[in-house]
């Protein structure tokens, strides 16, 4: 008698897994797209961070521009930096909103965002211009359309 060898059909599982991966990748790309806004419109930046210090007055600064490749350098666009003074009272997780209006005539483009919490201007002279507690850069955060 001849022995029967079982062969498995791999086409169906590969097609199902491949299809699921493609659907997941498509959903990710669709949901990842930046917010669309026109110049002159108001936007809200939501900044979440963990603060471990003893408290004090700081400055939240959100700037739009472009991250330069894989370097820590961020190229700010003039007129697209917004600041807000914040009082951090204790060590905890914070969520701070900054509402800003984009100036008229902003060039249509996709901008990256840089958010940082810095020492107040008076302290900054003593500490150094580039001292900050928290820094976060988001690529493709804002899309300005004509």
Highest mean pLDDT among 6-10, 18-22, 58-62, 132-136: 58-62
Residue 12 in 3-state DSSP? helix
CB-count exposure of residue 138 (10 Å: 0-12, 13-18, 19+): middle
Residue 27 tokens, joined: 């959903």
The Cα-based distances of 75 to 15, 72, 86, 97, 122 in angstroms read 44, 10, 25, 23, 25
Mean predicted confidence (pLDDT) in 90-114: 89
Per-residue pLDDT tens over the stretch 39-97: 889 988 888 888 887 778 888 889 999 998 877 788 999 999 998 888 888 888 888 88
| CB atoms closer than 10 angstroms to residue 57 | 12
Mean predicted confidence (pLDDT) in 17-32: 68
Percent of the chain with pLDDT over 70: 75
Q: How far apart are CA 95 and CA 115, in angstroms?
A: 13
Q: Is this structure's pTM higher than 0.95?
A: no
Q: Give the DSSP per-residue string, 75-142.
A: EEEEEEEEEEEEEE-SSEEEEEEEEEEPPTTPPSEEEEEEEEEE--HHHHHHH-TT-EEEEEEEEEEE
Q: Domains (ranges, CATH) in the chain?
A: 35-145 (2.60.40)
Average pLDDT value for the chain: 79
Residue 126 has what pLDDT?
53
Nearest of 67, 117, 120, 65 to residue 95 by alpha carbon: 117
């Amino acid at each position: 008698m001849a022995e029967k060898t079982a062969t498995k059909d791999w086409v169906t599982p590969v097609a199902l897994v491949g299809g699921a991966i493609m659907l997941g990748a498509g959903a990710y790309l669709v949901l990842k797209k930046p917010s669309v806004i026109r110049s002159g419109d108001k936007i809200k930046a939501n900044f979440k961070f963990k603060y471990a210090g003893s408290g004090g007055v700081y400055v939240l600064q959100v700037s739009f521009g472009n991250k330069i490749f894989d370097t820590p350098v961020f190229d700010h666009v003039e007129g697209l930096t917004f600041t807000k003074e914040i009082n951090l009272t204790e060590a905890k997780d914070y969520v701070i909103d900054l509402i800003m209006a984009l100036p008229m005539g902003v060039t249509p483009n996709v901008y990256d965002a840089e958010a940082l919490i810095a020492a107040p201007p008076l302290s900054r002279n003593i500490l150094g211009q580039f001292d900050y507690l928290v820094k976060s850069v988001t690529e493709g955060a804002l899309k300005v359309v004509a």
